[in-house]
Amino acid sequence: MIVRCSSEVAAALSEGRPVVALESTITSALGLPAPHNRDCFDRVNAAIRAEGAVPALTGLLDGQLVAGVEPGEEDRLLNATQKLAERDLYGAMAARLGAGVSTVSATVAIAHLAGIRIFATGGIGGVHRGAEQSFDVSSDLGAMARHPVAVVSAGAKAFLDLAKTLEVLETLSVPVVGYQTDEFPAFWSRSSGLKIAHCVETPDAIAATMNAARDAGWPGGFLIANPIPRADEIVAAEIAAAIEEGLATAAAAGATGPAATPRILAAIAAATASRSIPANLALAASNASLAAKVAVALSRMGRVRN
């Protein structure tokens, strides 16, 4: 097998029980500072299990792609310092890298290979501001077009060019489905002011939409846009100044693309008195819970695997 599934995940898939893939970047110190990364790991796993689904943490261990970890192995991914996008997976496998954490693009690739149809994260990457000069567009978008995995997220990270991100998703024919919203969420904020063409009210409706696309021959994935819980939102007007400060900090350091993201997030955390970290945790748990509900619906429909 290209992907080593944990015994729990393998059993669930073989029995048609619901499984939710998880990226490991967000639960590593590369995604959130310790101890918040461990808190995030505990929260998303608890949210998935509370809905009756099985969490499958993805990544790479000893040169092997993994979907789900055995007890104790999660520490190796929580403490890993190598981040892997989809394009990095194959070199890391050949080099038998000891431990690497998966980004969104890597996770949809691993989930597809493992036969897992749905994946929960925080926010996807997208088109960076100034991309008309830098051509800086996240590989997350292309990965969603290539792999038949639904990604549940709180939109894209708010410091990106959200309008251009939606345009690229449209160009790639990736369906964007709003969950109980007709506006694209902006990560820490519930709304970006950008309309979504298709919205649904229930997890069952998401599952039915996914099945309709598969039956019609769509070979790619979905983006399920799930706004941050209202109680945990940092409204767009408040976060805007913090985003500009973070972008300026990254630019002054010469950081671009993936290297810029940690600097921007650190500046935003400082500017919001660290309110962004509890917001990150809340939206990650909310996305995990929704993904699990959809996975349960897919299982009930007998369509849990790709």
pLDDT in tens, 254-266: 777 667 777 777 7
Count of structural domains within the chain: 1
Assigned domain for 306 exists: no
Which residues have a Cβ under 8 Å from the Cβ of 273 and sit 6 or more positions away? none
pLDDT per residue over 83-92, tens digit each?
Answer: 999 999 999 9
Q: What is the rounded CA–CA span in Å between residue 207 and residue 13?
A: 17
Assigned domain for 91 exists: yes
Assigned domain for 305 exists: no
Assigned domain for 209 exists: yes
Q: What is the rounded CA–CA span in Å between residue 128 and residue 165?
A: 8
Catalytic option among 74, 157, 233, 293:
157
Active site residue 23: yes
Q: Which residues span the domain enclosing 82?
A: 3-300
- List b or e across 190-208, with b for residues whose CB sees 16 or more CB atoms inside 10 angstroms: bbbebebeebbeebbebbb
pLDDT per residue over 16-33, tens digit each?
Answer: 999 999 999 999 998 888
Specify the pairing of strand 64-67 against strand 54-61. Answer: antiparallel
The token pair at 196 is 């979504």
pTM for this model (two decimals): 0.93
Instruction: List beta partners, residue 50.
Output: none
pLDDT per residue over 114-147, tens digit each?
Answer: 999 999 999 999 998 878 888 889 999 999 999 9
pLDDT of residue 94: 97
The full DSSP string for 50-71 is HTT-EEEEEEEETTEEEES--T
pLDDT of residue 257: 66
Catalytic option among 23, 74, 86, 233:
23
Q: What is the rounded CA–CA span in Å between residue 118 and residue 304?
A: 9
Assigned domain for 106 exists: yes
Residue 267 has pLDDT above 90, yes or no: no
- CATH (domain of 294): 3.40.1790.10
Active site residue 157: yes
pLDDT of residue 258: 66
CB 155 within 8 A of CB 162: yes
| Residue 230 burial (10 A CB sphere; 0-12, 13-18, 19+) | exposed
pLDDT per residue over 40-77, tens digit each?
Answer: 999 999 999 999 999 999 999 999 999 999 999 999 99
The token pair at 227 is 């706004």
Assigned domain for 9 exists: yes
Torsion of CA 76, 77, 79, 80, to 10 degrees: 100
Residue 306 has pLDDT above 70, yes or no: no
